[in-house]
Structure 1
Amino acid sequence: MPLTISIKHASIAGHRAKNEDFVGMVTPLEPELSSKGMIAAIADGVSGNQAGRDAAEYSVRGLLSDYYATPDTWEITSALEKVIVAINSWVQHQGSTHGEMTGMATTLTSLVMRGRMYYTAHVGDSRAYLFRDKKIQCLTQDHVWDRPEMQHVLTRAIGLDTRIAIDHGMGELHQGDIFLLVSDGLWSALNDSTINYFLGNLPEGDLPDDAADLLCQYALSSGSQDNISAIIIKVIALPEGDLRDTLTEMINLTVPNILTVGQKIDGLLVQEVMHTSATTILYRVFDDQQNRQLVLKTLHPDRGRDHHERSAFAHEAWLAKRVVARFFPQVVQHTPHNYLYFLTSYHPGASLQQKIDNGRYFSVPEIVSYGCKLVRAVGALHRRSIIHRDIKPSNIHLGDDSEIRLLDLGTAQSGWYNPTINTLAGTPSYLAPEQFENGAASVRTDIYAIGISLYYLLTRHYPYGEIEPFHRPRFGEPVNPSRYRPELPMWLETILLKAVAKDPLDRFETTDEFLLALERGASRPLDKARPIPLIKRDPVLLWRSVALASFVLNLFLLYWVVVS
């Protein structure tokens, strides 16, 4: 059963001539309900003119729309933070550059409910309450001056300053919880005891249609002189588990013993052991219910008790389910599911490393074509805030349909979860130089790995030489790929050398830039990189040369003095 709620809202001008409050909510269907949850927000505009209302409406509408545009892999608090910071920048800019908008600002209090968890993001003096076990609790803190005569003067608000500090909160949901988002026009007229009494006397089940309106009218009759707004949300039913619960459930599944051809697992017939590593095993299996071949990936039994490995595997399965694109094998659901594994679509073909090992020779046009597809695949990950961290020919699959598919998200990191703090996760020869200096994986380290992969596919060599495990390499200047492939066009060589540049700032900034260079090719080639001065390339060698020249010059002068 999905998360089920009952929600009512009301907003009235009260004794004011106009209503500068604004409320909004989104209750999506699947899959957004499971991946992003539902969101509600309330804002109280601050200004002596229409600008306050504009700030409130823009902030709520912007939050409700932009939140769902953020990647599923972002943590909810990170997504809310980034969206609200962007909204604040826009409102503040409008208020400082348009005379009629001077002073525009607004409070903003939001609530996200996903799975079995809730999250709040708050700035200003609107409030969020939680009513549970017949007791009300205020989840937010008013950002106002603490002096009695200035308690209505905001210290924080959307648009008040170029920088903004946002309060975040989170907690577990309980069935029957009631959340209340209100503007200060309501809570200033009704104390917590009164609100507690009102919520405690709501009927069982769904909220009455007039619940929020009655509460606002009660605040008006109690002397409120401000705009009055309220959103009431009641949790009717909770899902079996959210994303975090799903990972926990997967982690607790039993790792199957090593399977042999002909065995069955959950009704799936094992046809081939495709790959075995120290941590995982891949099988090709047949699902006779759907008459299809699939790939089953599971942990190696020797790693079954390793909590870190189980968490990383669960994270990989979660990521694989969310990268829906033709560049990746697609996760397939199957019941029953009694063991720790996940299933993906099967595509006949082989990895590019297998092609090379079998003597395959790749032409320049093939590498350009496959390179464009690979860059698009990695770009699809980056748009979801996923860094692959292990791009190499053995993880690039070339199907019989000529499609490139990127494999193995086992070491990938996302905004939601980083399976390992080891910056050297991956294959040494494909790791960027900065990673050997404890630099973090990034978009540019993935771009470096793409460049190394394409270089290797063309030349069967590495630009900086092969790097052995546990070896701390010293990176000099990369060998031009034309040394191994003289027919290589200059424009492609320039692209490859830019992708594998030692300094990350000299590489392509994004996969889009990389793709554009490959697509333009010889029609609009990149400028060839300028030679790096010796003082930057090898400062030790430079000063040794200066010292040697000085020594030789001194010997000559000494000889000249003695002779003369």
Structure 2
Amino acid sequence: MKNPDKNALRLAIGHASLTGPRERNEDYCGYATPEGLELENKGVIAAVADGIGGHKGGREAAEYTVRGLLADYFATPDTWGVPRAIETVTTALNRWVIAEAGRNAELTGMATTLSALVLRGRRYYTAHIGDSRIYRLQEGRLLCLTVDHTWEHPELNNVLSRAIGLDPRVLMDFADGDLAVDDRFLLVSDGVWGVLPDALMADVLLDHPEPQAAAAALTSLALAHGGHDNATAVVVDVLGLPPAGLRDSLESAASLPLPHRLKPGHTLDGLVVEEVLHDARETLLYRVRNPRNGQQLVLKTLQPGMEGDSGATAALLMEEWRARRVVSPFFPQVVPAEQRSCLYYLMTWHAGATLQARLDSGQHFPAGEVVRLGVALLRAIAALHRLDIVHRDIKTDNIHLGQDGVLRVLDLGVAISLGERKADEPIGQAGTPSYMAPELFEKPEPQPGHDLYAAGVVLYHLLTRKYPYGEIEPFQTPKFTEQLRPTRWRPEIPGWLENILLKAVSKEAKERFETAEEFILALERGATRPLAAPSRQALAQRNPLKLWKIVAALSIVLNFVLLLILLR
């Protein structure tokens, strides 16, 4: 694969697989080299598998696993990290191999090793199970990136402790690192590394600059040195890397200027501004109209004063990138902008108002309507979580109810793609204090459950116009005691709905709903299968100060009584 685009990842790949003395080659290798956005979003993947099992079972397992991985990896959401995508795919492949071995006697005991390499952007990722290996040759030094999964056996060599098809649970090893131009990666079966010492393999790789020639030389040399196994090698050369920070094609928009402040009647790239929808500290939202087709859209950009702020620019670009991938009726959809002259992106516009605007206008929400809206909101959140995205600012201001009756979640500005985030990457402040789970005030890692807590607060607020622990102001350090029951303000709220809300906004994360689907099921079952009322906390937990006041008062009374007795 030699991509002519100098701003894209450029690679050269060669492969070879020889049968050797055996009648059947149970190794299998392959690679996939997409182009354009798929290359930027998913990268290039190469894999080697060494099948085990009687008759044709080993070859079946190896070929199906590699082919399945190369195809299905690209079908996973772009927002997933590489390890999650590969783990999800290999888990399904493992189930197939085990099931197939159980159905066909000829395939009994079949399994396979798997070593996969993904190169995306300026980083590499390895996924490995079994005793195939992945090496990296850098500046003349050959380093093995994987650890063999084998048992020590006094009579047999390379008895696998882990493999695809060996156990119902797949335990893959994952690793990653930075790429450099002129890096060379080698994926080999044990028919190569088990015969050739590392030093000899390094010499072969250095003596053969073309990856195809290097792969062919390694496999041939392994058999020439007395190898009795199949010999397979894939060689990947890194010829060029994309610019630092390039995540996708949207990054090219980073150099665009910000539009000046627009007013109704102004035009931008042929779009006519009709209304300023939102004027925040960093961002601006306008309702615009395309005069060619009459379509009304939302244009989102940064405040003119943010010009040159690389962090804000990157955040807006990543917000558009995420929004493009959330294809769901519960979210505004990104509309392609033709020949942008400035930094902004476009979304569909929908007549209606946010839930907070409806509350502010005096709208009353009956319990049945709140349940309907709750189910829709949680389906929207579930769609995000399936993409490994956490919204981080679910609140009534960010939930829009259209005139068409459809609920839509707004503003992915502080959302995080968990699979894309590096462990040491700062997460920044997110959320509105009254909707934030108690543990968020200690700044833990973002979790999908935090969106579910916020959804519970939204439903609570729609019913009562209050918050379960009282309103929390910014920069306040709140004290979470006992929740206030919603029937305190709305006695007509059904008991089963109150129990659901109290569970959703429980102080302890372990007592809340674990998934959006579980929350939805509770709402849909309603009174037919009500949840038990949450147990009230002991006074010592609920209000320790009050407890000590009571103890002190009792102590004073007791001491007074004892004093009277002694004075008699």
What range is the shorter-chain TM-score in? 0.7 to 0.9
Distance 1:408 1:269 in 2: 22
User: Do structure 1's residue 11 and structure 2's residue 14 form an aligned pair?
Assistant: no
User: Do structure 1's residue 348 and structure 2's residue 351 form an aligned pair?
Assistant: yes
User: Do structure 1's residue 200 and structure 2's residue 210 form an aligned pair?
Assistant: yes
Q: Which residue of 2 aligns with 1:404?
A: 407
1:482, 1:493 within 8 Å by CA — same for their partners in 2? yes
User: Do structure 1's residue 510 and structure 2's residue 520 form an aligned pair?
Assistant: no
Q: Which residue of 1 aligns with 2:530?
A: 525
Distance 2:499 2:428 in 1: 28
Q: Which residue of 2 aligns with 1:111?
A: 117
Q: Which residue of 2 aligns with 1:265?
A: 268
Matching of residues 258-337 of structure 1 within 5 Å: 258-337=261-340
Distance 2:390 2:464 in 1: 26
Between stretches 408-417 and 423-432, larger displacement belongs to 423-432
1:467 deviates by 1.4
Q: Which residue of 2 aligns with 1:541?
A: 546
Distance 2:82 2:285 in 1: 33
Distance 1:477 1:523 in 2: 27
Relative to structure 1, is the Cα distance of residues 422 and 474 closer, same or farther in structure 2, using a 3 angstrom cutoff? farther
SS at structure 2 position matched to 1:305: coil
Alignment-mate amino acid for residue 363 of structure 1: P
User: Do structure 1's residue 561 and structure 2's residue 566 form an aligned pair?
Assistant: yes
1:375 deviates by 0.8
SS at structure 1 position matched to 2:272: strand
* Unpaired runs of at least 5, structure 2: none
Alignment-mate amino acid for residue 75 of structure 1: G
Distance 1:295 1:479 in 2: 38
1:3, 1:238 within 8 Å by CA — same for their partners in 2? yes
SS at structure 1 position matched to 2:298: strand
Relative to structure 1, is the Cα distance of residues 76 and 334 closer, same or farther in structure 2, using a 3 angstrom cutoff? same
1:363, 1:458 within 8 Å by CA — same for their partners in 2? yes
Distance 2:257 2:291 in 1: 23
User: Do structure 1's residue 171 and structure 2's residue 179 form an aligned pair?
Assistant: yes
Matching of residues 482-497 of structure 1 within 5 Å: 482-497=487-502
Q: Which residue of 1 aligns with 2:486?
A: 481
1:104 deviates by 8.6
Q: Note the alpha carbon deviations across 1:91-142, whole angstroms, 9 max, x for none.
A: 99x99xxxx999998653212244565543446664446799xx98746346
1:392 deviates by 1.0
User: Do structure 1's residue 140 and structure 2's residue 136 form an aligned pair?
Assistant: no
1:131, 1:199 within 8 Å by CA — same for their partners in 2? no
Alignment-mate amino acid for residue 278 of structure 1: R
Q: Note the alpha carbon deviations across 1:412-445, whole angstroms, 9 max, x for none.
A: 1122138984675221111112212333432222
Q: Which residue of 1 aligns with 2:385?
A: 382
Q: Which residue of 2 aligns with 1:395?
A: 398
Alignment-mate amino acid for residue 461 of structure 2: Y
Identity %: 48
How many residue pairs get aligned? The number is 546
1:34, 1:242 within 8 Å by CA — same for their partners in 2? no
Q: Which residue of 2 aligns with 1:417?
A: 421
Relative to structure 1, is the Cα distance of residues 115 and 426 closer, same or farther in structure 2, using a 3 angstrom cutoff? same
Distance 1:559 1:201 in 2: 99
Q: Which residue, 488, 497, 500 being the options, matches 2:505? A: 500
User: Do structure 1's residue 41 and structure 2's residue 47 form an aligned pair?
Assistant: yes
Q: Which residue of 2 aligns with 1:552?
A: 557
Alignment-mate amino acid for residue 510 of structure 1: T
SS at structure 1 position matched to 2:378: helix
C-alpha RMSD of matched pairs (Å): 4.3
Distance 1:476 1:397 in 2: 31
Distance 1:458 1:215 in 2: 70
Distance 1:333 1:246 in 2: 13
Distance 1:490 1:306 in 2: 51
1:108, 1:126 within 8 Å by CA — same for their partners in 2? yes
Matching of residues 116-265 of structure 1 within 5 Å: 118-122=124-128, 126-128=132-134, 138=142, 140-141=144-145, 143=147, 158=163, 165-171=173-179, 180-186=186-192, 188-189=195-196, 191-200=201-210, 216-217=219-220, 219-221=222-224, 223-231=226-234, 244=247, 246=249, 248-265=251-268
1:315 deviates by 1.9
SS at structure 2 position matched to 1:270: strand
1:215 deviates by 6.7
1:452 deviates by 1.2
1:357 deviates by 1.8
SS at structure 2 position matched to 1:522: helix
Alignment-mate amino acid for residue 526 of structure 2: G
